[in-house]
Amino acid sequence: MKKFVLLPLLFLALVVQSQTVQLAIADPATYLSDLKAEMQKEWPKNRTINLVFHGHSVPAGYFKTPQVNTLAAYPNLVLKKIKAMYPLAVVNVIITAIGGENSVKGAERFERDVISHHPDLILIDYGLNDRGCGLEKAYTAWNQMIKLAKDSGIKVILLTPSPDQNVNYADPENDLKKHADQIRKIAAENQVGLADSYKAFEFLYPDKEQLGKYMSQVNHPNEPGHELIANELMKWLQ
């Protein structure tokens, strides 16, 4: 009788342990190996690489609204860094981001505006604006986008939110951190890439004056701020 009880419990423990092991983000060393190999090919064996940046005003390049500083925003900073590392590569940066948008709206147009570009890599950044739609709706929308990408054989990197100077970062339960934590969870559940912008700015959170030096307005980074995000993304591409 004891064996009958213990065996199912042991099986359940092994299943739980197996599921726990699987819940991890993709490995930065191997996740984009095929893409990095492709970017090292020279003409005529190379091909055009499409990187699609999907999200809100930050990847769209809004600095101090209404100024849009496209070339100093992180999508093009990433392109510059990629070209320094892969001089033979033909790389298109395609920005499908819309200022003011959240992930629910982004998911609605994902197939039409993102998948249609036949990207090699999709980078998703909606955490800053998802405070408006809430955690539950955001969770559904992010997973919907990831599923569409994976069903098309496209790799994905998720970004946690960049700063908002109105946030009380001393509060471990602040809304921005909740969304950052959820994005980390989604990345692990789907075993995709994660660029942790929230963590990249963490050294600035105790001092609002220092944080302000990386911001063009209350919720938009300036070029040094975008550089921090670009550096997080390049951990996956170098």
| Domains present along the chain, CATH in parentheses | 28-234 (3.40.50.1110)
**Cα 8 from Cα 113, distance rounded (Å):** 48
Residue 134 confidence (pLDDT): 98
Say whether 111 sits in a helix, a strand or coil: helix
pLDDT value of position 17 = 44
Q: Give me the percent of the chain exceeding a pLDDT of 70.
A: 91
Rounded percentage of the chain residues whose pLDDT exceeds 90: 90
Q: Is the pLDDT of residue 19 over 70?
A: no
pLDDT at 1: 43
- Which residues, listed in sequence order, are joined to residue 123 by a DSSP beta bridge? 53, 157
Does position 133 have pLDDT exceeding 90, yes or no? yes
Inter-axis angle of helices 175-190 and 135-151, nearest 10: 30
Q: Give the Cα separation of 155 and 167 in Å (integer).
A: 32
Residue 181 scores a pLDDT above 80: yes
28: Cβ contacts below 8 Å, ≥ 6 apart: 193, 235, 236
Q: How far is CA 45 from CA 116, 119, 120, 188, in A?
A: 24, 19, 17, 34
Instruction: Evaluate if residue 187 carries a pLDDT over 90.
Output: yes
